[in-house]
Amino acid sequence: MKQGTLIFTSDGQRLISPVGNRVSCFDLVQNTSFTFSYEHRRNIACVALNSQETLMLTVDTDGRAILVNFVSRQVLHHFNFGESVTEIKFSPLGEYFAVAAGRFIQVWKVPGLEQDRQFQPFIRHRIYSGHYNDVISVNWSKDSRFFISTSKDMTSKIWSVDLSERDVQFTMAGHRDYVVGAFFNESQDVIYTVSKDGAVFQWEYTVKPGDEEDEDESDSDSDEEMDNGNSEVVKQSKPMSWRITRKDFLHSDAKVQSCCFHSGSHLLVVGLTNGSFRLYDVGTSGSTVGGSDFQLIQQLSMGQNSIDTVSINSSGEWLAFGLSALGQLLVYEWISESYILRQQGHFDTMNKCVYSPDGSRIVTASDDGKIKVWDVASGFCLYTFSEHTSNVTDLVFSKKGNVLFSCSLDGTVRAWDLIRFRNFRVLTAATRVQFTCVAVDPSGEIVVAGSQDLFEVYVWSVQTGQLLDSLQGHEGPISCVSFGAENGVLASSSWDQTVRVWDVFNRGEQVRNEPISVESDVLSLVVRPDGKELAVSTLNGQILGFDIDSTKEKWMIDVKRDIQQGRYLEDRFESKNSARGKNFTTISYSFDGLSLICGGRNNTIAMYDLANQVLLRRFTVSLNMTINGTQQLLNSSRIGQGGESLDLIDRQGEEEEWINRLDNSLPGSHRGGLDERNVRPEIRVNSITYSPTSLSFACASTEGLLLYGVDDSVIFDPYDLDLDVTPELIGELLQEREYLQAIVMAHRLNEWNVLVRVWESISLSDIELVAQGFPVVYLNRMFGFLGELLVKRETHHFEYGLVWIKSLIQWHGKYINQHKAIFSSNVKLLQRWLTRVGKELVSINEKNNYLTTFLQSASTKASESSTQHQQEEEEDVDEDDEEEEGDDDESANDSEFEGWFGAEAKTGIKPFAESEDDSDDDDINIDT
């Protein structure tokens, strides 16, 4: 989170947060998140959601607003308020919304349908003026009749929406610093104002001090009117006004940066500039009789950076905090004192992003020395590694996905265990070398890394951690190293305009062929998943494809015309005349090897079809104009007389608040992050990678980690469809038990409900017969259907799905092996499901073992106690008279049976059965 406000939905389970120039919604219960597709031209300053949760309004730092349908996520209208907006709030009843712009408060009617059934997006109700400085916050009363505003002029004002109640306007003065927030209580008869110096004033609507003789009568009339819900503040028998009835102070050295109030539970949350927050109970009544009700409930420090925004959900249990300095987003449950959500992005430039082999996670590396593991489905950070002491430059997964390798400028290559989340191996060279690229062979036994210092490629053994060899031959800095996924061939590229192919397992002949020469410096290299082809991107704006075995060039793409380079602020020409960034610095093959995705130091992501060498689609990374390199046209009004750009002038020292004038940044850097002093961060894509299991890709850019995917939720995509293929005909085939023909027609129709119905209708005994005659044309679609159903939809037909997978692979395994590139995505998706199910079965088995051990021990103790009881009965029999010996034998037998049944009654567990059939039945019950 860079800046902006946080808001909860009415149910308190979802949190809406601005992320740069976009908006994300986090479901805190389902552990999922999504980002709205639209984006602003600047960073978002404030967000508002109406009480019906149908309309969302977002405003950027320039005052440009976008109205969005929150349910369908579609943009409805664009509007420009003309100046920066500090606060925007919808009324509780959903009729108006108030906008704090400069010294004024604008009240607008909520967009809706008028009498002529036409959509009216923005109709202004009234402009309220009276403050002498910028307005900081606006808050509505519960009945939406009044609202209260706070300003930098150290006052608060009450306003009425009704034009006939102009006399309601009242100014609350007395604070000695900016008034950060003002709030109504539940009954609207008390107002709390909070200033930046930590003073909390309580205001009540009472009789003026000069009219004490009729105070009791006026108070009774006022109470009666409040009980009726009228809240009449104008028509009173005696003159009344708002006055201070109590003053409280936080007594903190830090300033108040943000605050929020929950009227139902009378909780006041205050965020301070030193990174701590305080939770106060302001009391249930406005009377000062009986002492002060202002009590500190909880205090917690979240770091050393200022808490810029705070929000509380409808139930008053969860608190949301936003810290823009480090991009932190926290959701805290104050009752249990635990975190519901704790997320923090990289506070410096991301250098690398890589998918795990199963496509469920994505890992990023940054210049801040941290490695973060993200969950693709939820968008949340799962774990952070911080052992590196310098910039992390590259990442690579092992083939199984359990081990991650990283290299850094601190001179180390580290191996991470992603099951236990620990660093188990540190690899170094004989001398201090800064590593810039790393690769691992398919077996996971050999790790190589390249540097830009000594122009060598270093080879280590993962098991022993020893340096095996250093490959020499390049005459310039190593830009990239990559292994083939199948044959284990190593390829390396350098700025010396060569690409070399190595055989690291054959020490007698390390270089397989002569170096591949290109016309310019090689910026990026990637090997196709089958290991038979490699692609390189060069400095002169070309992408070349070479055959690894013959080292011959197969294809060439000139990308200079496909790149849309934005205009920088210091440029005196438009973007179309710019010559910088006309190449790609990162490229990646798709999982089938048929397409190539590219990115670089520009605002363009390009996707190419390698079979025809044509551009399939071009993406724009960002429209955020606060980043350098995104503008297109030249704005002469922002150019000074000497030709300098007015946007590059550092105006940080002109800030009114002392904390905003502090400058701890690093001047002259172009990479973004914390260094935004005299140079804006440049737009760039440092890394791009395809997902191995789905039609999506991710890129690490200046705007953050961006994930692109195909939204097929409303797309009807039939395959080989005829007029005869109908749901009715498929139902008739199911009744006739023509399962093979029915499922083939269902795939041709490609409707999800029909596919599921046909799939579940096939009996277990007929699966193998259907799989045997299943056409190979629809085989990949069948695997995709199984992966979607078992992994994403999480069906409970575990055994049924396993039988399908086994039968299809058994009868068509040879064809699948011959066409690995086609089936790679769906097969890996099924492997991901099998891995998860296997872990669940192992955990269930362990629990059953513990239960079996407990039952066996309990049964043994019951058997021993019954045997002891039987022996005691036999001793009693020996002591009896000989005349009653026969009767005593019968009673001993009866006591023996009573001992068995008594043990069962006491322990509730039957002793071991006499027959094997009974023991087998017990085992079956335990397992199930």
pLDDT at 34 over 70: yes
Measured between alpha carbons, how far is 688 from 351 in angstroms, rounded to an integer? 10
Scan for tokens 């389902």, then name that residue. 30
Do 615 and 701 lie in one domain? The reply is yes
Span 295-307, average pLDDT:
89
DSSP 3-state of 746: helix
Query: Which phi and psi angles does 603 have, rounded to 5°?
Result: -100, 30
Minimal CA–CA distance to 103: which of 140, 44, 163, 149?
149
Helix-strand-coil percent breakdown of the chain, rounded to 5? 25, 35, 40
Residue pair 589/689 in contact (Cβ under 8 Å)? The answer is: no
Do 571 and 687 lie in one domain? The reply is yes
Span 565-574, average pLDDT:
76
Compute the half-sphere exposure of residue 811: CA atoms within 13 Å on the CB side of its CA: 16
Do 647 and 775 lie in one domain? The reply is no
pLDDT at 147 over 90: yes
pLDDT tens column, 833-859: 787 777 777 878 887 887 888 888 887
Do 806 and 852 lie in one domain? The reply is no
Span 257-284, average pLDDT:
90
Span 558-574, average pLDDT:
81
Largest CA distance in the chain: 133
Span 599-621, average pLDDT:
91
DSSP 215-284: HHHHHHHHHHHHHHT----S--SS-EEEEEEEEEE---SSPEEEEEEETTTTEEEEEETTSEEEEEE--S
Minimal CA–CA distance to 629: which of 648, 651, 601, 650?
601
Task: Report yes or no on 282 lying in a domain.
Answer: yes
Do 892 and 760 lie in one domain? The reply is no
- Residue 312: Cβ-neighbour burial (10 angstroms; 0-12, 13-18, 19+): buried
Q: What is the predicted pLDDT for the residue at 658?
A: 55
Q: Residue 371: which residues within 8 A CB-CB, separation 6 or more?
A: 363, 364, 365, 384, 385, 386, 388, 392, 395, 404, 406, 416
Do 748 and 853 lie in one domain? The reply is no
Do 791 and 761 lie in one domain? The reply is yes
pLDDT at 904 over 50: no
Residue 710 CA, distance from chain mean position: 18
Q: Which two tokens stand for residue 739?
A: 């399962």
pLDDT at 889 over 70: no
Measured between alpha carbons, how far is 684 from 699 in angstroms, rounded to an integer? 10
Task: Report yes or no on 196 lying in a domain.
Answer: no
Q: Which residue has the higher pLDDT, 650 or 467?
A: 467
Q: Which residue has the higher pLDDT, 792 or 568?
A: 568
Domain boundary among 324, 340, 373: 324
Residue pair 395/371 in contact (Cβ under 8 Å)? The answer is: yes
Do 703 and 733 lie in one domain? The reply is no
Q: What is the predicted pLDDT for the residue at 714?
A: 44
pLDDT at 748 over 50: yes
DSSP 3-state of 735: helix
Q: What is the predicted pLDDT for the residue at 916?
A: 38
Q: What is the predicted pLDDT for the residue at 872?
A: 63
Q: Percent of the chain beyond pLDDT 90?
A: 38
DSSP 104-153: EEEEEEPPEE-TTS-EE--EEEEEE---SS-EEEEEE-TTSSEEEEEETT
Q: Which two tokens stand for residue 10?
A: 């009415």
Scan for tokens 């005052």, then name that residue. 63
Q: What is the predicted pLDDT for the residue at 660?
A: 59
Q: Residue 235: which residues within 8 A CB-CB, separation 6 or more?
A: none
Task: Quickly state the pLDDT bin for 907 (edges 50, 70, 90).
Answer: very low
Span 12-35, average pLDDT:
90
Q: What is the predicted pLDDT for the residue at 649?
A: 65
Q: What is the predicted pLDDT for the residue at 209?
A: 62
Span 511-521, average pLDDT:
79
Q: What is the predicted pLDDT for the residue at 290?
A: 34
Query: Which phi and psi angles does 116 have, rounded to 5°?
Result: -85, 15
Q: What is the predicted pLDDT for the residue at 782?
A: 87
Do 570 and 696 lie in one domain? The reply is yes
Minimal CA–CA distance to 328: which of 269, 277, 394, 396?
277
| Lateral strand order in the sheet of 190-195 | 179-184, 190-195, 199-207, 240-249
Query: Which phi and psi angles does 730 have, rounded to 5°?
Result: -65, -40
Q: Which residue has the higher pLDDT, 239 or 613?
A: 613
Measured between alpha carbons, how far is 148 from 190 in angstroms, rounded to an integer? 12
Q: Which residue has the higher pLDDT, 833 or 29?
A: 29
Q: Which two tokens stand for residue 153?
A: 């002029």
Please state, rounded to an integer, the average pLDDT across all residues of the chain: 81
- List the domain range (segments joined by +) for residue 768: 728-818
Q: What is the predicted pLDDT for the residue at 128?
A: 93
How many beta carbons lie within 10 A of that of residue 249, not counting itself?
12
Q: What is the predicted pLDDT for the residue at 326?
A: 80
Q: Percent of the chain beyond pLDDT 70?
A: 81
Span 173-180, average pLDDT:
92
Minimal CA–CA distance to 548: which of 487, 466, 600?
487
pLDDT at 115 over 90: no
pLDDT tens column, 342-363: 888 887 889 999 999 888 899 9
Span 123-145, average pLDDT:
92
Measured between alpha carbons, how far is 343 from 327 in angstroms, rounded to an integer? 8
- 175-203 residues labelled b (16+ CB within 10 A) or e (exposed): beebbbbbbbbeebbbbbbbbbbbbbbbb
Beta bridge partners of 696: 709
Task: Report yes or no on 279 lying in a domain.
Answer: yes
Span 817-826, average pLDDT:
76
Domain boundary among 290, 324, 358: 324
Q: Which two tokens stand for residue 682?
A: 């440049």
**Which own/partner pairs from 810-819 qualify as long-range (CB within 8 Å, at least 24 positions apart)?**
810/768, 810/771, 811/768, 811/771, 811/772, 811/774, 812/771, 812/774, 812/776, 812/779, 815/776, 815/779, 816/779
* Packing angle of the helix pair 820-879, 779-787 (nearest 10 deg): 50
Span 99-128, average pLDDT:
83
| Lateral strand order in the sheet of 96-101 | 85-90, 96-101, 104-109, 123-128
| Lateral strand order in the sheet of 328-333 | 309-312, 318-323, 328-333, 338-344
Residue pair 322/17 in contact (Cβ under 8 Å)? The answer is: yes
Measured between alpha carbons, how far is 734 from 722 in angstroms, rounded to an integer? 19
Rounded to 5°, angle at Cα 568 from 567 and 574: 30
Q: What is the predicted pLDDT for the residue at 362?
A: 94
Do 625 and 752 lie in one domain? The reply is no
Q: What is the predicted pLDDT for the residue at 229?
A: 45
pLDDT at 508 over 60: no
Do 701 and 616 lie in one domain? The reply is yes
Task: Report yes or no on 552 lying in a domain.
Answer: no
Minimal CA–CA distance to 679: which of 692, 665, 693, 691?
665
Domain boundary among 324, 358, 373: 324
Q: What is the predicted pLDDT for the residue at 876?
A: 59
Do 704 and 732 lie in one domain? The reply is no
Q: Which two tokens stand for residue 344?
A: 């923090």
Scan for tokens 């006055």, then name that residue. 243
pLDDT at 667 over 70: no
Residue pair 594/695 in contact (Cβ under 8 Å)? The answer is: no
Task: Report yes or no on 106 lying in a domain.
Answer: no
SS3 readout for 407-425: EECCCEEEEEECCCCEEEE
Q: What is the predicted pLDDT for the residue at 146?
A: 93
Give how many domains the chain has, as a whole number.
4
Q: Residue 899: which residues within 8 A CB-CB, separation 6 or more?
A: 866, 869, 870, 873
Q: What is the predicted pLDDT for the residue at 31?
A: 84
Measured between alpha carbons, how far is 180 from 139 in angstroms, rounded to an integer? 11
Task: Report yes or no on 795 lying in a domain.
Answer: yes
Task: Report yes or no on 467 lying in a domain.
Answer: no
Measured between alpha carbons, how far is 792 from 780 in angstroms, rounded to an integer? 17
Task: Report yes or no on 618 lying in a domain.
Answer: yes
Backbone region of residue 832 per phi and psi (left: phi > 0; alpha: psi in -120 to 50; beta: other values): alpha
pLDDT tens column, 483-495: 887 777 889 999 9
Least confident span in 257-261, 673-677, 740-744: 673-677
Q: Which two tokens stand for residue 855?
A: 């039952």
